[in-house]
Structure 1
Amino acid sequence: MSDEEHRDSLADQAAAWVPPWERPTPRQKPVPTDDTADTAGETADSPADVAPAAPGDAPTDAVTVDPDVPGGPAERVGAGAARMGEGTAEDVPKRRPAGRRRATVVPEPAPELDDAELRGALEAILLVVDEPVSELVLAQVLEQSPERIGPVLDDIAAGYTAAGHGFELRRAAGGWRLYTRPEYATHVERFVLDGQSVRLTQAALETLAVIAYKQPVTRGRVSAIRGVNCDGVLRTLVSRGLVEECGAEPDSGAFLYRTTTMFLEKLGLDSVADLPPLAPFLPDDVEELADATR
C-alpha cells in the first residue's frame, strides 16, 4: 500500500469513527418468564438444576454496556440493583440524617423548706438587706411559693412583738425590713448621730409636705403654694434622695417631682396613701386665707 492509499484509509476510519456517547445503546436480553416460556415444551431450569454461581463470576446473560454513555443501561442497572438490595455501597444513595430534637432539660424543683428552716432563712436575709424587700423577691431567692412567704413574715413580726425585742419587722415602701422600736429611738439616735444634726429645715419640711400631698407636682406649683421660691430647697431634697423627677407636664413641659422610696422608708409608710389626712390640720378660716392671697 502506498503512502497516499494509507492516508486515504486513515481518513476513512476517522470519518467513520462514532463517539461512545453517540453509539446506539445495546438492548438487554429479555429474561424468560412463566408467561413467555417456550411453547414447544421447553421449561426453565429449576433451582435445583442450576449450579450456584461462584463469588465474583459474572452472570451468563449479563449485558455488556459502555460505562461512558451517560444515562445508559449502566446507570439504570445500578439503580435497579440498589433498589433490590444487590448494589454496592456506592450504588445506594446516601440519605441525609434526620434532624434530632434536643432533649428539653427540666430543672428539678427545689426542695420545699419546712417552716423552721424557712423562718431562719428569711431572718438571715432581712438582717443584711439595706432596703425593704418584697415577698416576691424573697420567694424567688429561696425558690419557694410566694403564698408561704407572707404568713411566715407575719408570724415572725408577731413573735418579735410578743417577745419584746428592741427591733420589729414591718412592711414599708412595698416590702419588709427590720426596724428599731420607737421607744428606743432616743438611744439609737444618740448612738448613730453622735451630736450631728441631720434635721431638715422648716422650709424643707414644708416643701416636702407639699410634694408628698400634691405629687406629681411642678416646681412652680410648689412655689405658688408656699408663696416663696423653693428652687434651692428642692435641690436639697433631691440630693438627699427624698424627692425625684418623674417626667414632664404635657402642657408646659415643666419637670414633675414626687417622693421616693426612701421617703416612705424614713417615715415608716407602705405607700403615700398611708399619709395622715390634712383636714384636721387645716385652720378654720382656710377659705378666707385663700381669698386673701389671691
Structure 2
Amino acid sequence: MTDDMPPIKAALEAILLVVDEPVAEITLAQLLEHPTAEVHAALRELAAEYRDQGRGFELREIAGGWRYYTAEHCAPVVERFVTDGQQTRLTQAALETLSVIAYRQPVSRARVSAIRGVNSDGVMRTLTLRGLIQEAGQDPESQATLYRTTGYFLERLGLNSLDELPELAPYLPDEISDIEEIHG
C-alpha cells in the first residue's frame, strides 16, 4: 500500500458508497491494488461490523458483487421518506403543463410550450421524473417525441380513466369557448 492510499476498509467504504450496482471483489482488489483474499476479508469484516452495530445500512454480497443496502429494520422509515418526497406540491408551471398534456395527449414539448406561451422543457423533465407523464411515441410528421399521462397520474388524481377529467368549457373565457366550438 502506498502512503497516499487510505486504509483498505475506508477505501472500500468510499467506493461502495458511490456505486449503482454490486462491484465484484476482483474489481475492488485491482482498483485498490490489494490481494483479492485481503479485500474479501475486509468486506466480510465491514459487513459484520455494520450488522453488529445495528446500523441503518448493510453491506451485502449479491449478484456477484458487494453493495450497500438499507437495513431491513429501517425500510419503513426510508419508504416514508421516499413517499413523502413525492407528496410535495407541484408548481403552478407544473400544474399548467400537466393539464395541457392531460387534455391534449399525445402532445409534443413544442406544442405544450406553444399553448402555455413559455418553454416547458424543464417542467416536463420534472413531471417525467415524478412518473406523471411518459413518452408516447413520435409525431409522424415532425418526428417530435410525444408525451401522455401515466397510470400513476390517474392514481394520484383518483381517476379510473381520462374520460373522468372534468370538462374544460365551463372554465374557459367566452371568446375561447366560441373558437373551440368553431374549430372543434
More strand by share: 2
Q: Which structure is higher in helix share?
A: 2
Which one scores higher on RCO, CA 8 angstroms, separation ≥ 6?
2
Compare CA radii of gyration and give the structure with the larger one.
Answer: 1
